[in-house]
Structure 1
Amino acid sequence: MEMICPLCNGLKNLANPCPNCHGQMTDKGPIENFYDDYSAYLDKNITQRLDNADPNYCVHLFQCDICGKDKRMSIDREMF
């Protein structure tokens, strides 16, 4: 069995209201995709080591569609 992120794999969607304006926040993907131009292509095991991330969570960046505020959320990985 493998631990995977349900958002990265399209198994779940997360409705997340903006704490600023209460607009809808959109999932922009895992935070490691924003480190540099090539980080999105690296293996997850490598990017997790870069920021000492907990392997049980996948940190996603959410951004408000209205005001542009962003926030990070830790998403529980699930066994599959």
Structure 2
Amino acid sequence: MYVCPACNGLQKVIKNCSDCEEHLTDQGKLVDYLDEYSPYLDDEGLKLVDGDPQSTENHVCVHLLRCPKCGTETHVKVSEQSN
């Protein structure tokens, strides 16, 4: 079984905004924003539609990061760890 260290509070995603250099805030898994039921569905199944066709095979969790200053959004791949 693999777990995302960012989702489980074991690691912080640290990245600065490409537009204004402000520290981006981690908004969580990208798949949680697909629709209103996404947070309640199976993670492995949702990874098939997260925009990265290799995320299940490569054990990565795609996170949405947003700039609190200018609103810029970006995606970051976090490597999952075996449990």
Identity across the alignment (%): 32
Instruction: Find the counterpart in structure 2 of residue 42 from structure 1.
Output: 41
Are positions 1:70 and 2:73 aligned together?
yes
CA deviations 1:15-59 (Å, max 9, x no partner) are 211110000100000000000011111011221233445221100
Instruction: Find the counterpart in structure 2 of residue 54 from structure 1.
Output: 55
Q: How many residues are treated as equivalent by the alignment? A: 79
Q: Using structure 1 for the length normalisation, give the TM-score.
A: 0.90
CA RMSD of aligned residues (A): 1.2
- Quick one: which amino acid aligns to residue 49 of structure 1? L
Within 1, Cα distance between the matches of 2:31 and 2:13? Answer: 19
Within 1, Cα distance between the matches of 2:48 and 2:16? Answer: 30
Within 1, Cα distance between the matches of 2:13 and 2:28? Answer: 12
Within 1, Cα distance between the matches of 2:62 and 2:16? Answer: 17
Unaligned runs of 5+ in 2: none
Secondary structure, in 3 states, of the residue corresponding to 1:21? coil
Over 3 Å counting, the alpha-carbon distance change for 1:74 and 1:9 in structure 2 is same
Unaligned runs of 5+ in 1: none
